Amino acid sequence: MTTPRTAYKVDCEHPGSEVAAETAAAMAAASVAFRPYDSKYSDLLLLHARQLFSFADTYRGRYDDSVHSVRKYYPSSSGYSDELLWAAAWLFEATDDKLYLNYVAQNAVLLGGTGWAVTEFSWDNKYAGLQVLLTKADYILGKNPKSMSYLVGYGWNYPTHVHHRGASVPSIFELPSAVGCIDGFDDWYVNKDGNPNVIEGALVGGPDVKDEFYDDRCKYEQTEPSMVGNAPLVGLFAALDGLEGDKGSEHKSAGPNPKPKVDSCFAEAAVEFVHTITNTWKYQGEDYYRHQVAVKNTCGERITYLKLKIENLAGLLWGLSQTQEKNMYELPPWLKVLEPGAGFVFVYIQGGPQAAVSVVAYH
């Protein structure tokens, strides 16, 4: 990186209530997560969360009034009131101290926590988070009118012109000479080719209010993976993963893999499939359906390997791991064992009739 990375600060004379309160909220939330595993570190986080909240509330002021250079990119359009309420709410969650609950109750109207016509929840505006939190994991992963995964590398239809320098500039193995910041911008920013490097797991900015998405590196609002979008996604996916199935055990040397059972009649009897349509919507005159397939182990034995063939699949699928073979899928990585009578679900989206699912092998 050849461009300067200037550090800024907020203090009593140059306040930044948004930054301080947001950090207080993050530390309070982290203290809750660490409490069962490292109480000492959790206490330290909570101490600093209290200090930062006190600082943010005592020395009130917009951070972009103190650090003028951020106005162009991250202006504090909603002010700092929402962050103060957000921090107090998290501190109450972490401490059960009625002081913070009373702060929210007494300042909700004054600080705008009620009465706003809230249309967003973002790095800047936290009011929606104080009123309702809705996860949109399905939408991100492809349950949307364009059937596009906005998580790069996930699914078959994801952004390929990501606004990211490391993804856009060829690797040192293809381009051994050093590429400076200016050179990288001039040569690769407006390049129409797709990214030479897939930035796996990056969440891009996403579609506009009309669900339109332009896979264009120059449209950074839609194709840039930002920290404010990706950081909370880790927690969301971790929480969802925590609700699912057996996480397996510590790694052990498995030795030779047992030969899968491939008798088709017995294989079909070993697993039961139940297809249902859980949602439907119309896009550009066409009907789309969210298909859910419940898979149940009916063979009376533990299944540690399951290979499925899915034909007539035209849309996105999640809940299974795709193999190198065409139309072939295996158990997802979070599901190591399917106990007798146990089951799981996978989901796919497409128009028209349902896909055909069959068992190829299992053991």
CB 320 within 8 A of CB 332: yes
- From 187, 215, 216, 363, the catalytic residue: 215
CB 85 within 8 A of CB 113: yes
- Tell me how far apart the alpha carbons of residues 148 and 141 are, in angstroms, rounded to a whole number: 7
Helical segments of 1-96, H only = 17-34, 39-58, 63-66, 81-95
Q: Are strands 343-350 and 317-318 parallel, antiparallel or unpaired?
A: antiparallel
Q: Is the CA virtual torsion 273, 277, 278, 283 positive or negative? A: positive
The count of other CB atoms within 10 Å of the CB of residue 154 is 18
Q: Which helix (H) or strand (E) holds 347?
A: strand 343-350
- From 163, 164, 291, 330, the catalytic residue: 163
63 contacts: CB under 8 Å, gap ≥ 6: 10, 15, 16, 17, 18, 19, 70, 76, 80
Q: Give the residue from 298, 301, 302 showing the smallest Cα distance to 273.
A: 298
End-to-end CA distance of the chain: 51
Among this protein's residues, is 215 annotated catalytic? yes
| Sheet with strand 356-362: strands edge to edge | 321-322, 328-330, 306-311, 356-362
Among this protein's residues, is 224 annotated catalytic? yes
Q: Give the residue from 363, 219, 349 showing the smallest Cα distance to 288.
A: 349
- Tell me how far apart the alpha carbons of residues 293 and 273 are, in angstroms, rounded to a whole number: 6
Annotated catalytic residues are: 163, 215, 224
